[in-house]
Amino acid sequence: MHKDIATPVRTKEILEKYGFSFKKSLGQNFLIDTNVLNRIVDHAEVGENTGVIEVGPGIGALTEQLAKRAKKVVAFEIDQRLLPILKETLEPYPNTKVIHQDVLKADVKEVIQTELADCEEIMVVANLPYYVTTPIIMKLLEDQLPLKGIVVMLQKEVADRMSAAPSSKDYGSLTIAVQYFTEAKTVMNVPRTVFVPQPNVDSAIIKLMRRSEPAVNIVSEDFFFSIVKASFAQRRKTLLNNLVHFLTEGKEKKHLIEQALLSADIDGRRRGESLSIEEFARLSDELYAHFK
């Protein structure tokens, strides 16, 4: 019986056997602490009917712990050098499958339909490559996948932004984008010492549970997100000034923005960061009537 992959000794053995050198450009920081891995799996509430999509299995540390509890784990790995390693380390787990592909280019919906059709629920669980955390999460949310939720390790700073409340320094367009689709909660901070090599940022585990309906009903999603982005464009400017800058050439339509703010019952002298997602929704719908 092998030791778990995520022990410092076994990880070292595997890396040495294959002469593996880490690629910083691929965000390769591997976990060497089974307690932390088990906490991730616990938070994801993975059970015998769960199908799991993993992004970036590395040498299989998290994949192994997931495979012990899930029905099936499908993992996307971009680095070809890891494929022979994973073949060996995951050999005892027939309920795992590795797909050699950049997850950002993958048709994840198709993979869920073909590989995880017999699972009752689908979770994404991963220790994400930090250089592409936000694009990966936004792709998973925007692709309208049949996910129950996403539980991932990422930079603490990004987790704080995703789970922020209005009027806090971390609240911004990323917060609204994530909370539009999910209920977001940072569930655990993680020290650098549980990775090899150690990353130069602090980490956290975030839990994003998909809402059955988006947080707010809006006429146009694209327009809503462009208004949110514009409202945070210059954080020290007032909401009105940011909107004027974004929506009008010159100031001739300023009165229409003021009218929309009035109808939405929002003071244009406020800063974007003080608006709740419901207020952004009201404002976006009022503005849409004039600026679609």
Is 233 a binding residue for ligand SAM by CB under 6 A? The answer is no
Q: Which stretch binds ligand SAM (CB under 6 A): 49-57, 88-96, 185-193, 211-219?
A: 49-57
Question: Between 126 and 218, whose beta carbon lies closer to ligand SAM?
Answer: 126
Q: Single out the segment in contact with ligand SAM by CB under 6 A; choices: 22-30, 108-116, 180-188, 249-257.
A: 22-30
Residue 96 makes contact with ligand SAM by CB under 6 A:
no
Q: Which stretch binds ligand SAM (CB under 6 A): 126-134, 162-170, 225-233, 254-262?
A: 126-134
Closest CA to 136 of 103, 172, 160, 101: 103
Task: Give Dmax over CA atoms of the chain in angstroms.
Answer: 75
Q: How far apart are CA 130 and CA 152, in angstroms?
A: 11
**Pick from 33, 34, 108, 129: which binds ligand SAM (CB under 6 A)?**
129
Residue 28 near ligand SAM by CB under 6 A: yes
- What number of helices (H) and strands (E) belong to the chain? 12, 9
Nearer to ligand SAM, 55 or 108 (CB): 55
- Nearer to ligand SAM among residue 129 and residue 268 (C-beta): 129
27 lies in the site for ligand SAM, by CB under 6 A: yes
How far is residue 224's CA from residue 69's CA, in Å, rounded to a whole number? 40
Residues near 23 by beta carbon (within 8 Å), at least 6 away in sequence: 79
Query: Rounded to an integer, what distance in angstroms lies between the CA atom of residue 58 and that of residue 67?
Result: 15
- Residue 18's SS3 state is helix
Q: How far apart are CA 55 and CA 75, in angstroms?
A: 6
Q: Is 61 in the site for ligand SAM (CB under 6 A)?
A: yes
List of residues contacting ligand SAM (CB under 6 A): 26-31, 55-58, 61-62, 76-79, 82, 102-104, 127, 129, 132
